[in-house]
Structure 1
Amino acid sequence: MDLAITYVHHDCFCLEAAGWTLLFDYPDAQHRPPGAREAVARALAGRRVAACFSHSHADHCSADVLDAAQDAAQLHLVLSYDVPQMVPALDLPGAVVLEPGDDPRGGDPGPWAGVGPGLRARALESNDLGVAFCLDVEGLRVYHGGDLAAWLWPGPDDAGAAHTRAFFERSLEAVAAFAPHVAFTCCDPRLPGRGGFARFAEVVRPPVLVPMHDFGQPGAVGGYALGVRVPGVAVLAFAALGQRRELHAGP
């Protein structure tokens, strides 16, 4: 399938495929660089859009999407379960609210939900807040991890770190079973292990892997990510806001 991905900021990307534009984690004004709103508005104009919010933190979620998407042909909202309460302006009729499965150890996806023609979504629990998304767009499987990552900070290797590793590994097993054609996952430059980016590549092996959680500095994650070499995995790094990459993946 032919598709295109546009980088906006941090965890915010647009993915165009099969008549849809998926917008992920459009951030609040305090986290948007100059030109971000305009870049997103251009990407959404005249399109059937699914705006997906993995959780309610301001660097991942903003009701300002309603302004940026005002020229979209259609707008569908796909929300983590925490968003309607924390960002009530997005709690609109017809919004699809996703819940993960009930296993507190992670790796338990919730049920599939229909979003619109040819598009369905389900969620995994994040180990920060909210969910990670698994989406199927006419057979193209897309994963966006939100803040699901190996949050292993420098310091003692204690029980909390062991829990984080176990949760992350169970989540990776679930994502690998989903077998995404395109995956967006954390490559946070603050973390010695980059949020488990290399481990994600090794276990999940998506044909296209996009690093994110860069705080608006894509070069801070791109250099590291391009050095992760796993057979069958093409790392797609971006350099600047608004950069658009066209590619073929999936069915």
Structure 2
Amino acid sequence: MKALIYHLYHSGVFLEIDDIVLIFDYYHDISVPGREGLEAGVVDTTYLKGKRVYVFVTHRHSDHYNPLIFDWQKRVKDIKYILSNDIKIKSRGHNMIFMEKYQERIIDDIKVRTYGTTDQGLSYFLEVKDLNIYHAGDLNWWKWPDFSIEKQLQEERDFKNEVARIMDEVIDIAFIPVDPRLGENYYLAGKYFAQSLEPELLVPIHFGDNYQITDKFAAIMADTAVDSAVLAGRGSKIVFTKEN
């Protein structure tokens, strides 16, 4: 089984698995100069035609959610939206599915389980064909340098408690925050998650324009059994293959 992955921007990712397209936390729709489409970090709806498209939003923060995603349904026939229930929409369409944390839904032939985060909204675990995919949203070990020791310890407990809920899942591809704003603590969530759940592939997210941090993180991950993707910039492409 093969998945084609594009890192679009920040926490936005695009996956293509046979006739299925999964899009998570897309918000930045201005392309890289001189490039177009997915390789520029932008979703072009012409690419979605003939696909079964599932658009996931983990929460309403502006760096994870842009209402422009609903314009896609004007041009794409087979599209569904799976949304955190903190997102407010005036008119809910029949193709919009709102979820709370710790729920399970079967959407067509995709199994979706939701978990919590250490900020707002949801994280998603998906069983798609023969692949298991996890997108963390804002689940992170938020060890901010200016927090008190007590607050830092609470953030650690909150993160590890949430990861403990996911421990029974077998994950092929995980999208986990590697946030440079945390300073020297940027890698804590990613490495702990990798060591605890051992996904086949970990793809860093939630780092804005700082793509260099993915190379730095991969070096830290070298002593683990997990492959960590190094991303050169918006539209970076990864081909993931799972042996049957």
Aligned pairs, how many? Answer: 234
Q: Deviations over 1:14-36 (max 9, x none)?
A: 01114211100011xxx444359
| Alignment TM-score, normalising by the size of structure 2 | 0.87
Q: Give the letter for the 1:79 counterpart.
A: L
Report the alpha carbon displacement of residue 9 of structure 1 after superposing the two structures with TM: 0.5
In the TM superposition, 1:104-115 aligns within 5 A as: 110-115=102-107
Q: Residues 236 and 90 of structure 1: is their aligned pair in 2 closer, same or farther, counting only changes over 3 Å?
A: farther
Question: Identity of paired residues, percent?
Answer: 24
Q: Does the 8 Å CA contact 2:132/2:171 hold for their aligned counterparts? A: yes
Q: Deviations over 1:95-123 (max 9, x none)?
A: 121111xxxxxxxxx1311222x212111
User: Which residue, 141, 149, 160 being the options, matches 1:169?
Assistant: 160
Whole-angstrom distance in 2 between the partners of 1:196 and 1:113: 27
Whole-angstrom distance in 1 between the partners of 2:243 and 2:152: 35
Moved more, 52-61 or 11-20: 11-20
Whole-angstrom distance in 1 between the partners of 2:74 and 2:185: 39
> Residue 12 of structure 2 aligns with which residue?
12
In the TM superposition, 1:222-241 aligns within 5 A as: 222-227=214-219, 228-241=221-234
Q: Does the 8 Å CA contact 1:48/1:72 hold for their aligned counterparts? A: no
Q: Does the 8 Å CA contact 2:180/2:210 hold for their aligned counterparts? A: no
Matched, 1:145 2:136: yes
Q: Residues 144 and 32 of structure 1: is their aligned pair in 2 closer, same or farther, counting only changes over 3 Å?
A: same
> Residue 80 of structure 2 aligns with which residue?
76
Q: Deviations over 1:157-214 (max 9, x none)?
A: 4332222111111222223311211000000011121152111111121011000111
| Alignment TM-score, normalising by the size of structure 1 | 0.85
Q: Residues 224 and 37 of structure 1: is their aligned pair in 2 closer, same or farther, counting only changes over 3 Å?
A: same
Give every structure 1 segment of 4 or more consecutive aligned residues whose post-TM-superposition deviation is greater than 6 Å: none
Q: Residues 69 and 12 of structure 1: is their aligned pair in 2 closer, same or farther, counting only changes over 3 Å?
A: farther
> Residue 66 of structure 2 aligns with which residue?
62
The runs of 5 or more residues in structure 2 that have no matched partner are: none
Q: Deviations over 1:14-60 (max 9, x none)?
A: 01114211100011xxx444359843115534321100000001110
> Residue 96 of structure 1 aligns with which residue?
97
Whole-angstrom distance in 2 between the partners of 1:95 and 1:21: 16
Q: Deviations over 1:73-112 (max 9, x none)?
A: 41110111111x2xx1673223121111xxxxxxxxx131
Whole-angstrom distance in 2 between the partners of 1:129 and 1:68: 25
The runs of 5 or more residues in structure 1 that have no matched partner are: 101-109
Q: Residues 229 and 10 of structure 1: is their aligned pair in 2 closer, same or farther, counting only changes over 3 Å?
A: same
> Residue 120 of structure 1 aligns with which residue?
111
User: Which residue, 228, 238, 242 being the options, matches 1:245?
Assistant: 238
